[in-house]
Amino acid sequence: MSKKPDLRVFKTHRAIYSAFFTLLNQKDYTEITIQDIADEALINRSTFYAYFQDKDDLVEQIIEKKLDSIRKVMEISLLNKRNEVKLMHIQLVLTQLLKQIKEDKDTYVLILSIIDKHILTDKFKKIVTDAYQDILKNLRIMESDMEVPVELIIDYSLGILFMTVNWWLKNDCEYPEDQLAKLIMKLVGNANLTILGISVI
């Protein structure tokens, strides 16, 4: 029988997260102290340290929780046995991802305000490479007798994705998710998927 999560731990985590985000709306991240968080969450400092090493560890755990939900979206298989992918399937996964971000947009906005975007990009890149490692591990791309680094194509595509999502968040997610998913596909271009050895159908 699986062990049920401790309700007290859940409530304490929720209080700490809520306190942290409340404080982020009031002052700069560098100005927030553990005592500030403890006071806002109505807990002792020792209670905070029972779960987190410091506020950087708190941020890291918040990010990991969000990335876990993104991993679940990325686990959806897009490719068939012939290494083909339907454009509609990619757009559906992107739409689902965008809906997830929109549902908790305030958290994502705050995370982006305090975390180096390169760090976040690297974390997301690992999710993508882990999800599609069977394709990428043996891939060798040649263009006009010159080998093209797979990592370059991935970095380029993820860069477009992150810039677009960042713009979307700054504009209060007003652009419809399904339309933005189509726009991202146009910006990234089917050519990049074709270069990666994936046929878009």
pLDDT in tens, 61-93: 998 888 888 887 766 555 544 544 556 677 888
Least confident interval from 75-79, 81-85, 94-98, 152-156: 81-85
pLDDT at 190: 54
Distance CA 22, CA 26 (A): 7
Distance CA 77, CA 85 (A): 9
Same domain assignment for residues 44 and 139 = no
11: domain CATH number is 1.10.10.60
CB 142 within 8 A of CB 94: no
Same domain assignment for residues 4 and 102 = no
Distance CA 7, CA 10 (A): 5
Task: Extract the tokens encoding 52.
Answer: 């987190």
Model confidence, pTM: 0.72
Same domain assignment for residues 163 and 69 = yes
Distance CA 23, CA 25 (A): 5
Distance CA 124, CA 71 (A): 9
Same domain assignment for residues 28 and 88 = no
pLDDT at 11: 93
Same domain assignment for residues 162 and 127 = yes
Same domain assignment for residues 66 and 24 = no
Report the candidate in 24, 107, 110 with the shortest Cα–Cα distance to residue 36.
Answer: 24
pLDDT at 194: 52
For the cut 80, the answer to whether the pLDDT of residue 193 exceeds it is: no
Higher-pLDDT residue of 143 and 8 is 8
pLDDT at 185: 82
Same domain assignment for residues 41 and 101 = no
Q: What is the mean pLDDT of residues 148-159?
A: 77
Q: Which domain holds residue 166?
A: 61-200
pLDDT at 78: 53
Same domain assignment for residues 113 and 89 = yes
Same domain assignment for residues 48 and 143 = no
98: domain CATH number is 1.10.357
Instruction: Using the 3D structure, point to which of 34, 52, 70 is the last residue of a domain.
Output: 52
DSSP class of residue 76?
S
